[in-house]
Amino acid sequence: MGVRYGGVLILVELAEEWSRLALDHLPVGLLVINRHRKIRIFNQTLSRFLGLKSEKVLGQPLLGILDDRGPDFNILLQTLVTGKEFQNVKPQAVTTVSCSVACLVNTYPVRNRTGITVGAMAVFSPAARLQEMENAVVKAEKLAILGLMSAGMVHEIRNPLTAVGCFLQLLQKCLTGHPKEEYIPIMLTELNRANRLISEFLQFAKPGYSRRTSCSIGETIKNVLMLVESEALSRKLEIKLDLDVDMPNIFVDGEQLKQVFINIMKNSFDALSEGGKIFVQTSWNELDGFAQVSFRDTGVGIDKDTIANMFNPFFTTKESGTGLGMFTSKKIIDNHGGRIDIQSEPGKGTTVVVLLPAVQ
């Protein structure tokens, strides 16, 4: 019996130790007072915030020991007396010189099983952490708005594209035998691609959506180069290609990948002046199973601030840019389980590396 009793005691002690550890490691400061306004819980996080050892304050009356230590504890006393909760009391109200971390405070009554208030607790959340969370919410809201706007635009863009397609087909008949006749099928193919991208947009917006097939990266790059060749020529830019012939086919959405490569190449075009060069190289790392495509340009380069922001939607340094190229590209590569790395030095040029896992 004695042994059992001892065993229960050990279990209770263990449970208390675990509770104490958990409270101490909360990312928020926690202060609990009993109905006599004495401090019952003062976790390590709060001890760090206020610069006070918990041993010094535990069991002490709230007023007195913490008077000069920052937060206006009246709200906690009001909670104790009236049962009223206070939410997110702003940092100005709770910080003083001695409170090293600006906090927002929430207070709650502590009730026993019969509902009687036996104490009150204050939860201190570092304002910087809340700011981070707020920023994340704002970002998520922006993205949601972007989704809605884009869905509306899809409808509007499809109509003019259909009209252009119809007129091109009519023109095709008139231009039979004309020296520039070959341009029409190219334009129609591109128009179809745009239409397909638009049609797939909504589905693409669903995370993880893509239509994957076994695809040759080399062939995809050659296709992209055919599309951008004329622009490169007119801007007097040189594109050098170095394809790894041993690279196996990989399982990707070829159309989406094409879109990524076009976005990256167009950025290089914009960064280059006449005579500039772009080196496109593919390689295959058999050990880690990653296919790598790198695009190196000799353009203006990118500063650190721009690198930090360039994957955000609508971030652009160009007058006519939409700032969606790299955002969309990253999303596509992320969905494929890959990665985009940027290495750049202002004035020297930029290398954009796309890494894709090659599932055989």
Ligand X SMILES: Nc1ncnc2c1ncn2[C@@H]1O[C@H](COP(=O)(O)OP(=O)(O)OP(=O)(O)O)[C@@H](O)[C@H]1O
Residues at the site binding ligand X, with contacts judged by CB under 6 A: 263, 267-268, 271, 297, 299-300, 302, 306, 310, 315-318, 321-327, 350
Of 175 and 342, nearer to ligand X (C-beta) is: 342
- Give the up-direction half-sphere exposure of residue 136: CA atoms within 13 A in the CB hemisphere: 6
Based on CB atoms, which residue is closest to Mg ion, 40 or 266? 266
| Residue number, 253 or 297, with CB nearest to ligand X | 297
**Closest approach of Cβ 309 to ligand X, in Å?**
8
Given the complex with Mg ion, which of 43 and 329 has the nearer CB atom?
329
297 binds, among ligand X, Mg ion, none (CB under 5 to 8 A by kind): ligand X
Q: Minimum distance between the CB of residue 314 and Mg ion, rounded to whole angstroms?
A: 12
CB of 223 to ligand X, least distance (A): 19
300 binds, among ligand X, Mg ion, none (CB under 5 to 8 A by kind): ligand X
Element (DSSP H or E) covering residue 352: strand 349-357
CA dist., res. 226 & res. 66, Å (int): 73
Q: What does DSSP assign to residue 60?
A: S
**Which of Mg ion, ligand X, none binds 43 (CB below 5-8 Å, type-dependent)?**
none
Strand, helix or coil for residue 183? helix
The tokens for 49 are 């915030």
Question: Is the CB of 54 or the CB of 317 nearer to ligand X?
Answer: 317
Alpha helix segments (H runs only) across the chain: 2-24, 44-50, 54-57, 62-65, 74-82, 91-94, 127-174, 183-205, 217-234, 254-271, 304-309, 325-335
Q: How far is the CB of 142 from ligand X (least distance, A)?
A: 15
Task: Tell me the three state secondary structure of residue 109.
Answer: strand
CA–CA gap between residue 283 and residue 294 (Å, rounded): 9
Residue 214 CB, shortest distance to ligand X, in Å, is 28
Q: Which residues bind Mg ion (CB under 5 A)?
A: 267, 325
Q: Which does 126 bind (CB under 5 to 8 A by kind): ligand X, Mg ion, none?
A: none
Single-letter residue type at 256: Q
